[in-house]
A and B are shown apart, each in its own frame.
Chain A
Amino acid sequence: MRYVWAILSIVAVCAALYFVAGTFADDETRQVLALRQYNTRIVVVGTTLLGAAAGLIGTFMYLRKRAMIGDALSHATLPGIAIAFLIVGDKQIGALLIGAAVSGVVGVVAVIGLRNVPRIKEDAAIGIVLSVFFGLGLVFVRIAQHAHTGNQAGLDRFIYGTTAGMIKQDAQWIAITAAIVLASVVLMFKEFRLVCFDQHFAVAQGRSVHVIDLLMMAMVVLTTVVGLQAVGLILVVAMLIIPAASARFWTDDLPLMTILAGAFGSISGFSGAIVSARFVNLPAGAVIVLAAGVVFSTSMILAPRRGIAGAIVRRARLARRIGYQNVLRALCEREEDSGEGVRASKAELLRMRSWSARRLNSLLRRAIRRGDAAMGPDGLIGLSRQGRIEARRVLRNHRLWEIYLIRHADVAPSHVDRDADLVEHILPPELIRELELALTETPEIPPSPHGREAFS
């Protein structure tokens, strides 16, 4: 049920974006967006469905850490296409795609075989297969073009992709593929998840990892082969990886991630096709991949929990909080040494920790602004009553951590200060209570266990 809502809200957002784009676009773009032209309609339907299929199955390739095998696969299709062309003699698309699938699978088998050779790691195996098969393909393409002089073989379109040339039949093939991929992902979801997470456990459960992997790979081959003409074999792997990698930023839930990856793939396919229909000179395959890149960058920066922007903000907030608590602690330790109400000069505080004068000044200004500290006309700084309560709490937590680390984590006492400084601010209240119970009977401030130098 949750996922039905997720799908509906994704559709709603896309629809809203579509109408907003329609409102602000110029006349020509609006024409394209309205899908008036038959040809545009075919292309848009084809690329959108292709994006969805690639996003769905790409999620599992990505999590299985097999995404780059898709690249070896797509490059390895070229010799098959050229050989099929040499045999069949004419541009019979069905035969060419079967040739593509066969030699693509041979490429994948070669990667798996090479991987088992000692001293050849998977990345090397992929690099070798990808380039050798592609080279072989280029040779055969040239031979094919010479064998049929006068007849434009047009095999280049498999390398770079000619989305604009998509015909109804191609779109139908893509639609069938998308339906098969969707069905297999829905039905095999449990098995795919198990194998991607922990293949040894899957074996121990009596599931055949080979069968599951084979099915997953078959879906990738299917998607890649029908996607060849649209995006081209160089870029088709992008459709497998990028939507999945983008979706990972938004959620920790696998079903939701799969749905999002499918959606991101469709959005990329749709917008890529629209842009290339509007600006006729742009290669559609490349534009689709670029659209996916935009989705990825946006996700990477803006995603609420895993995104970079959020992380930067959180880190800055944490640093500020730690700094602020350090100021309170310094003032409190000063009082501890010389009696309550004793105030400190900036120079004294500066010597207590390794902070710059500028940072100390800004932290002190904040403390004064918040009413936790006050500066007298003599320039000395002291804690207010409310500040003292907060400062004692902070100091106590810090000391609790020091004791905890010394007793339980075998940390050298000289390292304690730095570790505790970081961790103390992340400490949840339950753990503080636990430490209180375990380590100290009295709720007062326990003395610093590693002998803080008395301030003089």
Chain B
Amino acid sequence: MDKSKSTLAAPGGKPSAVPKSPDPHHDPRAPVSIHDMTVAYHRKPVLWDIDYAASEGRLVGIVGPNGAGKSTLIKACLDLVPKASGSVHIYGKPYKKQRKIVGYVPQRESIDWDFPASAIDVVTMGLYGRIPWCLPPRKKHRELALHALEQVGMADLARRQISKLSGGQQQRVFLARALVQDAAIYFMDEPFAGVDAATEAAIVALLNELKARGKTVLVVHHDLQTVREYFDDVLLLNMRIVACGPTKEVFTHENLQKTYGGKLTLLVEAAEAIARSGQGGP
């Protein structure tokens, strides 16, 4: 259960399950490294001493009970909520200087879908960061957006008003918007929440494609049953990091018990049973 900085960057190495002391000397090549981060809302702490480094080209699931601060962790990394302390580095440089290579997929419920925009309008917004102030998007931007919509299987719905899309389709629009950013690192806030089976499959395929292209993806995830299947690494969170590292080693009953405490439900037990019976699989 001890931790050394060298293991963090090496996917094959021993995992650091419980970081006991904050380590300011993360590997400078780490795509995302969070130092000593604490976040509080109205003086009530939400996240304590988060210290974590992600390895390149991995799909990381951020897992924990409701109110564990999963979304807050992502938002604090992206400067969307103020940090009480700590810092976030992207490939060794402060996040503020690296915004262009960080993509973000917010929760679907975070916006009003009755906004007057079509799917392609929303996806094009993913390119606004690259277009200088005061200039409109050009044809090539719209073509890029259309291509991203194709990748998520939504090209034929490009002109549809976003409120007329299903929940899963809306989620795919958000993913396409992140895709056009062509970032190196993606933060996704519950992309699997409330989507249909087809969208879930499309998202998984997309995650794997991003991984194949060497991107690092951090995903807030709710469904414990699919964690083993979807993620290489897992970060178990409950206001502090309970455990993190390769899923196979960290996603254990014991660690889940610690993360969820008394709230470990039948669902988790069921997931565990499924995982046990499926051991030896991929």
Report how far A115 CA is from B177 CA in the complex, Å. 31
B70-110 near A? 1/0 per residue, CB < 8 Å: 00000100111000000000000000000110101010001
Do residues B115 and A196 form an inter-chain contact, with CB atoms below 8 A?
Answer: yes
Pull 28 A–B residue pairs with CB atoms less than 8 Å apart, ordered by A.
Answer: A63-B116, A118-B42, A187-B134, A188-B134, A190-B128, A190-B131, A190-B136, A190-B137, A191-B133, A191-B134, A193-B121, A197-B111, A197-B115, A197-B122, A198-B106, A198-B125, A200-B110, A201-B125, A203-B79, A203-B80, A205-B129, A206-B99, A248-B116, A253-B118, A254-B115, A254-B117, A254-B121, A257-B116
Report how far A27 CA is from B3 CA in the complex, Å. 92
Report how far A205 CA is from B115 CA in the complex, Å. 19
Q: A118-B42, A187-B134, A190-B131 are in contact. Are A200 and B100 (CB under 8 A)?
A: no
Closest 10 CB pairs of A and B: A205-B129, A252-B161, A206-B99, A204-B104, A187-B134, A254-B116, A198-B111, A252-B116, A204-B78, A200-B80
Report how far A118 CA is from B112 CA in the complex, Å. 24
Known: A200-B78, A204-B80, A251-B116. 11 other contacts (CB 8 A): A188-B133, A188-B134, A189-B136, A190-B128, A194-B125, A202-B128, A204-B99, A204-B104, A252-B118, A252-B161, A254-B116
Report how far A248 CA is from B121 CA in the complex, Å. 17
The answer to the question of A207 belonging to the interface, with a C-beta cut-off of 8 Å to chain B, is: yes
Report how far A202 CA is from B79 CA in the complex, Å. 12
Residues of B within 8 A of A408 (CB): 197
Nearest Cβ on chain A to B244's Cβ, whole angstroms: 23
B100, B110, B116, B125: which contacts A206 (Cβ < 8 A)? Answer: B100
Report how far A187 CA is from B80 CA in the complex, Å. 26
Q: B110: nearest residue on chain A (CB-CB)?
A: A200
Q: A190-B135, A198-B111 are in contact. Are A253 and B116 (CB under 8 A)?
A: yes
Residues of A within 8 A of B110 (CB): 198, 200
Report how far A205 CA is from B78 CA in the complex, Å. 10
Report how far A63 CA is from B115 CA in the complex, Å. 7
Nearest Cβ on chain B to A264's Cβ, whole angstroms: 15
Report how far A121 CA is from B110 CA in the complex, Å. 18
Q: A434: nearest residue on chain B (CB-CB)?
A: B198
Residues of A within 8 A of B134 (CB): 187-188, 190-191
Residues of B within 8 A of A251 (CB): 116
Q: A204-B78, A248-B116, A251-B116 are in contact. Are A197 and B136 (CB under 8 A)?
A: no
Nearest Cβ on chain A to B173's Cβ, whole angstroms: 11
Report how far A197 CA is from B100 CA in the complex, Å. 20
Residues of A within 8 A of B102 (CB): 204
A contacts with B: majority SS: helix
Do residues B106 and A201 form an inter-chain contact, with CB atoms below 8 A?
Answer: yes
Do residues A200 and B106 form an inter-chain contact, with CB atoms below 8 A?
Answer: yes
A164-197 near B? 1/0 per residue, CB < 8 Å: 0000000000000000000000011111011011
Nearest Cβ on chain B to A196's Cβ, whole angstroms: 7
| Count: A-B pairs, CB below 8 Å | 73
Nearest Cβ on chain A to B131's Cβ, whole angstroms: 7
Do residues A205 and B116 form an inter-chain contact, with CB atoms below 8 A?
Answer: no
Q: A252: nearest residue on chain B (CB-CB)?
A: B161
Residues of B within 8 A of A188 (CB): 133-134
Residues of B within 8 A of A206 (CB): 99-100, 129
Report how far A194 CA is from B99 CA in the complex, Å. 16
Q: A206: nearest residue on chain B (CB-CB)?
A: B99
Q: B133: nearest residue on chain A (CB-CB)?
A: A191
Report how far A205 CA is from B103 CA in the complex, Å. 8
Nearest Cβ on chain A to B141's Cβ, whole angstroms: 10
Nearest Cβ on chain B to A401's Cβ, whole angstroms: 15
Residues of A within 8 A of B197 (CB): 408
Nearest Cβ on chain A to B109's Cβ, whole angstroms: 12
Residues of A within 8 A of B104 (CB): 200-201, 204
Nearest Cβ on chain B to A391's Cβ, whole angstroms: 30
Nearest Cβ on chain A to B107's Cβ, whole angstroms: 9
Q: A118: nearest residue on chain B (CB-CB)?
A: B42
Nearest Cβ on chain B to A430's Cβ, whole angstroms: 10
Report how far A198 CA is from B102 CA in the complex, Å. 17
Nearest Cβ on chain B to A224's Cβ, whole angstroms: 24
Residues of B within 8 A of A193 (CB): 117, 121, 125
Report how far A118 CA is from B43 CA in the complex, Å. 12
Do residues B111 and A207 form an inter-chain contact, with CB atoms below 8 A?
Answer: no
Residues of A within 8 A of B137 (CB): 190
Do residues A197 and B125 form an inter-chain contact, with CB atoms below 8 A?
Answer: yes
Report how far A257 CA is from B115 CA in the complex, Å. 11
Residue among A194, A203, A251, A252 with the highest chain B CB neighbour number at 10 A: A252
Residues of A within 8 A of B111 (CB): 197-198
Report how far A188 CA is from B79 CA in the complex, Å. 24
Q: B137: nearest residue on chain A (CB-CB)?
A: A190
Nearest Cβ on chain A to B104's Cβ, whole angstroms: 4
Nearest Cβ on chain B to A451's Cβ, whole angstroms: 27
Q: B161: nearest residue on chain A (CB-CB)?
A: A252
Report how far A377 CA is from B111 CA in the complex, Å. 62
Nearest Cβ on chain A to B40's Cβ, whole angstroms: 14
Residue among A189, A190, A204, A252 with the highest chain B CB neighbour number at 10 A: A204
Residues of B within 8 A of A189 (CB): 136
Nearest Cβ on chain B to A252's Cβ, whole angstroms: 4
Report how far A197 CA is from B177 CA in the complex, Å. 13
Residues of B within 8 A of A190 (CB): 128, 131, 134-137
Residue among A191, A196, A198 with the highest chain B CB neighbour number at 10 A: A198
Residues of B within 8 A of A200 (CB): 75, 78, 80, 104, 106, 110
Do residues A252 and B117 form an inter-chain contact, with CB atoms below 8 A?
Answer: yes
A210-260 residues with Cβ-Cβ distance < 8 A to B are 248, 251-254, 257
Nearest Cβ on chain A to B83's Cβ, whole angstroms: 14
Report how far A351 CA is from B99 CA in the complex, Å. 66
Residues of B within 8 A of A202 (CB): 128
Nearest Cβ on chain A to B106's Cβ, whole angstroms: 6
B142-172 near A? 1/0 per residue, CB < 8 Å: 0000000000000000000100000000000
Residues of A within 8 A of B100 (CB): 206
Nearest Cβ on chain B to A84's Cβ, whole angstroms: 34
Residues of A within 8 A of B133 (CB): 188, 191
Nearest Cβ on chain A to B123's Cβ, whole angstroms: 12
B38-64 residues with Cβ-Cβ distance < 8 A to A are 42
Q: A190-B128, A200-B80, A252-B118 are in contact. Are A205 and B99 (CB under 8 A)?
A: yes
Report how far A248 CA is from B163 CA in the complex, Å. 13
Do residues B129 and A207 form an inter-chain contact, with CB atoms below 8 A?
Answer: yes
